[in-house]
Amino acid sequence: MSLRGEVCVVTGACGFLGRKLVRLLLDEETLAEIRLLDRYEPPVEFLQGLKDCQRKTVVSVYEGDIRDSEFLRKACRGASMVFHVASVIDTHGNLEDSELYDINVKGTKLLLEACIQENVTSFIYTSSLEVMGPNSNGDPIINGNEDTKYNTFGLFTYGNTKKEAERISLKANGEVLQNGGLLATCTLRPMYIYGDGCRFLLYHMTRGIQNNDVLYRVSAPEALVNPVYIGNVVQAHLQAGRALKDPLKRTNVGGKFYYVCDDTPHMSYSDFNYAIMSSLGFSIQKKLAMPYTLLYLYCLFWEMLRFLLHPFIKIHVPITRKLLVLMNTPFSFSYQKAQRDLGYAPRYTWEEARTHTIEWLATKLPKEREKIRSK
């Protein structure tokens, strides 16, 4: 099923995932219009890069706040499909909880209301693996699926906001639109997303440079996870959009969530960083800087210090207890349900994904070295 002739809205269109999704939609489909919704004006080079794949599709820019209901109604007016990618990510506890809830939860609710008021028939929400966990105990999941039961207590505030936004999105499935039609929704839960443009990979590379080209080990080798390449994540979004448009699949897919991963080998987060960056001349610490229990206490010390000094000064902690647990918990999933229901299949192999990511990091490496030398 094609999306030919659709008017699609992509929220967070200027972000890591949003840019790739916009590009894929223009490459693969002949849309009537694609609307780039973001709180920031799209970079000129991004818009220029879309011209070679734009063909007859109208590309419109909607710059505004996702918490502005009138702005959202304007952006959704006449649209038929929304890819809701936008969210605020915070893994270090540096942002106020209220800001995360305002954007991730309230923004999603307002966007769904705009869809109902403006007769948008399909809504795909980009959720997160962190709606599932890991929990504060570090209980593992190995090759889990959508039916896996798990106690999700003690999530990051970010994970809780994504969980609530996902719940709201799925609950909206079947809502009656202003014109009498029905809204169909589904959500996607990608694993940790990597690829060209991933700021987390760039962060770890920069820290490695500061450590004489030795990558820090923050996760034990046995804490296996399965990251997913950005090119495969956007492919899953496209397949979800096609499935919601297909009358034969729409009823089955609507109201459901899907894990999105690929054939990237299972390894710890730290070993994944090394698998990507070893060819750029980086080595990695053989073991954690200190025993796990001491690391946990180290995190607790920084969190207590931040709490005590919060009224006077803002402290950015190097790592939190929750992040430490997340990075040291075996947590992996299968994409079989997405394959069965959405027709999803990874477009890029591990070797292709790794090569593309290395090539991008290689272009950043000289500049990062120069920045560090100049300090």
Q: Does domain 7-197+227-265+331-351 have CATH number 3.40.50.720?
A: yes
Alpha-carbon span 255 to 123, nearest angstrom: 10
Q: What is the pLDDT of residue 56?
A: 86
Alpha-carbon span 69 to 110, nearest angstrom: 6
Q: HSE-up of 17 (CA within 13 Å, CB side)?
A: 30
Residue 341 neighbours by CB distance under 10 Å: 18
Quote the DSSP letter at residue 329: S
Q: What is the pLDDT of residue 240?
A: 98
* Tokens (6 digits) for 39: 């709180």
Alpha-carbon span 226 to 304, nearest angstrom: 32
Contact 230, 201 (CB under 8 A): no
Q: What is the pLDDT of residue 372?
A: 87
Considering 125, 158, 194, 348, which one is annotated as catalytic? 158
Distances in Å between the alpha carbon of 309 and those of 48, 90, 107, 304, 322?
46, 20, 31, 9, 20
Q: What is the pLDDT of residue 314?
A: 80
Q: What is the pLDDT of residue 206?
A: 96
Q: What is the pLDDT of residue 313?
A: 83
The residues of the chain scoring below 70 in pLDDT are 92
Alpha-carbon span 348 to 234, nearest angstrom: 11
Quote the DSSP letter at residue 178: T
Residue 158 annotated in active site: yes
Q: What is the pLDDT of residue 319?
A: 86
Alpha-carbon span 344 to 350, nearest angstrom: 16
